[in-house]
Amino acid sequence: MAINFDALPNDRPFAVIPKGRYLAKVEDAQMKTPKDTSKPDYLNLKYTLTDVSGKKVGTLFDIIAESDKALMQYKLKRFLRATELNFTGSFELTDVKKVVIGKEFVVDVKVDSQEGQQDRSVVDVYTGEIY
């Protein structure tokens, strides 16, 4: 197969998405088991992000885990409201996985910097309304 040099990208494909608010569309949702098997499975979500002008700015991965911590429970509630999933009573995260593909909502994003690691874009749970 010939490679067209003129068609090769000029920009790095995995650039960090700047802090801000974006339109997100759920492209994939999978239940995963953490490396530490004493912890519960989690919902791993993949979003395509678009800015206010309609330009796609990249992909963002997000995790929603079952937890008794207030911040994680609040994050789950905001996600369910943003995606208009009106669950009542008890449900499992795997139930969310089945109905969330294609849902669109607004998400707050920030850049996470940790020493010794490459900067990455993450859902901002401390600013705005998260979703």
- Rounded to whole angstroms, the Cα distance separating 90 from 32 reads 20
Residue 122, both tokens: 């993450």
Over residues 74-92, the mean pLDDT reads 91
The secondary structure of 23-86 as a DSSP string is: EEEEEEEEEE--SSTTSPPEEEEEEEEE-TTS-EEEEEEEEEE--SSHHHHHHHHHHHHHTT--
What is the structure's pLDDT at 127? 85
Does the pLDDT at position 13 exceed 70?
Answer: no
What is the structure's pLDDT at 5? 84
| Per-residue model confidence as pLDDT tens digits over 36-57 | 988 889 999 999 999 999 999 9
pTM score, whole prediction: 0.84
